[in-house]
Amino acid sequence: MPLSKRRSLFRRAPLSGGRAGLSAETLLLVTALFLALTANRPFLTAVLEGGAWSSPATWGKALALLCMVVGAHLFLLALLSALAPGRWIKVLLAIVLAASAAASYYMQAFGVVLDPSMMRNVMFTNPAEARELLTWGLTQHMVLVAVVPIVVLWWLPLRSKGWGRAIVHRSALALTGVLVFVVALMAIFPSFGPTMRNNKTLRYLVTPANLLWSTGAVVAQSLRGAAKPRQAIGLDAQPGTAMAARQQPGAKPLVVVLVVGETARAANWGLSGYSRNTTPELSAWPLISYAYASSCGTNTETSVPCMFAPVGRRDYDEDTIRGSESLLHVLARAGVSVKWLDNQSGCKGVCDGLPTQEVADLKLPDLCNGRQCLDEGLLAGLPEQLAQAKGTQFLVLHMLGNHGPAYYRRYPAAFERFKPACRTDDLQRCSQAEIVNAYDNALLYTDHVLAKVLAELKAARNVDSALIYVSDHGESLGEKNLYLHGLPYAIAPDVQTQVPMFMWFSDGAPRLDAACMKDLAAQAPKRHVAHDNLFHTLLAMLDVQTKLYEPDWDLLRPCRQP
d(CA 93, CA 146): 10
* pLDDT tens digits for range 311-364: 889 888 888 998 899 999 999 999 999 999 999 888 999 999 999 999 988 989
Residue 373, pLDDT above cutoff 50: yes
Residue 128, pLDDT above cutoff 90: no
Residue 127, pLDDT above cutoff 80: no
d(CA 459, CA 462): 9
pLDDT-based confidence at residue 3 (cuts at 50, 70, 90):
very low
Q: Which residue has the higher pLDDT, 498 or 7?
A: 498
**How do 476-477 and 464-471 pair as beta strands?**
unpaired
Instruction: Sort 251 into a burial class: Cβ within 10 Å, 0-12 / 13-18 / 19+.
Output: middle
Given this model, what pLDDT does residue 363 score?
87
Mean pLDDT of the chain: 88
Given this model, what pLDDT does residue 16 score?
41
* pLDDT tens digits for range 500-535: 999 999 987 767 888 888 899 999 999 999 999 999
CA angle 531, 537, 539 (to 5 degrees): 120
Residue 7, pLDDT above cutoff 60: no
CA angle 258, 123, 324 (to 5 degrees): 50
Q: Which residue has the higher pLDDT, 502 or 51?
A: 502
Given this model, what pLDDT does residue 338 score?
97
Residue 442, pLDDT above cutoff 90: yes
**How do 464-471 and 254-261 pair as beta strands?**
parallel
Q: Among 51-55, 380-384, 420-424, 472-476, which stretch is predicted with the lowest mean pLDDT? A: 51-55
Residue 126, pLDDT above cutoff 80: no
Q: What are phi and psi of 237, to 5 degrees?
A: -60, 135
Given this model, what pLDDT does residue 85 score?
67
Give SS3 for 28. helix
- Residues forming CATH 3.40.720.10 domain(s) in the chain: 253-354+382-559
Given this model, what pLDDT does residue 225 score?
66
| 253-354+382-559 has CATH 3.40.720.10 classification | yes
- Ordered strands of the 529-530 beta sheet: 356-358, 337-342, 392-398, 254-261, 464-471, 498-505, 288-294, 529-530
* pLDDT tens digits for range 204-230: 899 999 988 888 888 887 777 666 788
Given this model, what pLDDT does residue 191 score?
80
pLDDT above 70 as % of the chain = 94
Given this model, what pLDDT does residue 510 score?
66
Residue 9, pLDDT above cutoff 50: no
